[in-house]
Amino acid sequence: MNAEVLCIGTEILLGDIVNTNGAYLARQLATLGIDVYHQSVVGDNSQRLLDSLKLALSRADIVITTGGLGPTYDDVTKKAVADYFGLHLEPHEPSVRKIEAFYQRRGVPMTPNNLLQAQVPAGATVFFNEAGFAPGFAVEQGGKTVIMLPGPPNELYPMFEKQVAPFLEKYTGATIRSRTIHVFGMGESLVENTLRDLMTSSVNPTVAPYAKSGEVQVRVSAKAESADAAFALIDPTVERIRNMLGDVVYGVDVGSLQAAVVALLREKKLTVAVAESCTGGKVAAAITDIPGASDVFGCGVCAYSNDIKQKLLNVSAKTLADHGAVSAETAREMAAGVRALSGADIGISITGIAGPGGGSAEKPVGLVWFGVNCAAFQETSKQLFSRGHKDERGMIRNLATLYALDLIRRASLRL
């Protein structure tokens, strides 16, 4: 069973937007056990679209398109596909009602072309669009299936996960489910080495690690007759991997490190305050990305200058003169200072050299000192983040932000 992804849209073709839908669908299909050998992008041009569709149908069992379903595109894409299959378009009543209700509520007259986006090929399986207006649909003919889905990710993602994935499960002959184990602080190759025996011996569930923006994710996937049966296969392996990897695992299916940190602080009824130098507000910004962060976070200080480090965080002039702003001593005083200032349970500090300037042989670009201050303990640690990346400054700041979030997690676990 294999599928191709065909993304329709001149904006993608011209590079004005990056094709995240292609990556999203490929990942989803992999999870469902459907192979993908080709992805293509084509503009809003009916002839080239049809040519690409025919080619994809010659190579794959299932072709999934995204884009080209909005009110301005109707004549270009949907009709071309319906014609190709010899089907006429007819209105999808629930979608018609949604569009009419929208205009009624707004009190704006609706022009008839707005209803064009509610049209679907006769006999198609229709996927209602919860987040937008244009429904998606699947057409099956001669052993081949074409699935057309809307382009905006906020419409595509819920439609795929709630409606298209269950629809596709009939092709895979089984239900496939997976869990993602999130790992921070252990490199991909060490994770692989640790799990190698398990990975090679596991058939159902399968175990696959991959690196992703500073962390490693381990995906455990199983095929079974039902979701419950799949998770029954998955969960013991997840437990086993947690035990093998230890405390570098920060969560399972938790979305992001900051989401896990905020959830953990809330669970433990703890608060954190952050004193940032080289990360310049990124740690505070990451924490406050999470809705309800105010339960666990009230205060961040971006002390970019030495003057502010002294004035707000009570770092002593002597410490700065003797050891410099990037030092264990300054990190320690910053963490103590922000905890005293805020009254939080945990104070965290970050001070380093993000570059490109400011480095020396003794303190190179990428050196970052961290401080943790709680009633029970205080600690400092350093990291050298340097990978020869083009945007070295951005990379150092991102990695230092993740490391600081992980320090908050580790401190919380001890309190």
Q: Which of the residues 24 through 53 are near a second copy (CB under 8 A)?
A: 24-28, 30, 36-43, 45, 48, 52
Among 276, 333, 345, 406, binds a second copy (CB under 8 A): 276
Nearest distance from C-beta of residue 312 to a second copy, angstroms? 7
Nearer to a second copy, 217 or 383 (CB): 217
Find residue 371's DSSP bridge partners. 349, 380
Nearer to a second copy, 89 or 385 (CB): 385
Near a second copy by CB under 8 A, which window of 11-19, 95-103, 115-123, 231-239? Answer: 11-19
Are β-strands 62-66 and 2-8 bridged in parallel, bridged antiparallel, or unpaired? parallel
Near a second copy by CB under 8 A, which window of 63-71, 81-89, 97-105, 350-358? Answer: 350-358
Which residues inside 204-243 make contact with a second copy, applying CB under 8 A?
210, 212
Can residue 3 be called a binding residue for a second copy (CB under 8 A)?
A: no
Q: How many residues bind a second copy (CB under 8 A)?
A: 78
Nearest distance from C-beta of residue 120 to a second copy, angstroms? 23
Secondary structure (DSSP) of 140-177: EETTEEEEEE-SSHHHHHHHIIIIIHHHHHHHHTSEEE
Nearer to a second copy, 121 or 339 (CB): 339
Among 3, 8, 12, 62, binds a second copy (CB under 8 A): 12
Task: Work out the end-to-end distance of the chain between its first and last CA atoms, rounded to an integer number of angstroms.
Answer: 51
Nearest distance from C-beta of residue 192 to a second copy, angstroms? 14
Residues 291, 21, 124, 80, Cα dihedral to 10°: 140
User: Which amino acid type is present at position 176?
Assistant: I
Nearest distance from C-beta of residue 119 to a second copy, angstroms? 23
Residues 45, 51, 52, 57, Cα dihedral to 10°: 140
- Contact criterion met (CB below 8 Å) for 38 and 60: yes
Nearer to a second copy, 70 or 281 (CB): 281
The C-alpha angle with vertex 85 and arms to 84 and 89, in degrees rounded to 5, equals 95
Which residues inside 288-347 make contact with a second copy, applying CB under 8 A?
288-289, 291-294, 297-305, 307-308, 311-312, 341-343
Neighbouring residues of 378: CB distance < 8 A, sequence distance ≥ 6 = 332, 335, 336, 371, 372
Please choose, from the candidates 250, 248, 257, 263, the residue with its C-alpha nearest in 3D space to the C-alpha of residue 297: 263
Which residues inside 76-105 make contact with a second copy, applying CB under 8 A?
none
Nearest distance from C-beta of residue 193 to a second copy, angstroms? 18
Nearest distance from C-beta of residue 262 to a second copy, angstroms? 12
- Contact criterion met (CB below 8 Å) for 82 and 75: no
Binding mask 363-402 for a second copy (x = CB under 8 A): --------------------------xxx-xx--x-----
For residue 78, the number of C-alpha atoms closer than 13 Å in the C-beta half-sphere is 29
Which residues inside 180-209 make contact with a second copy, applying CB under 8 A?
none
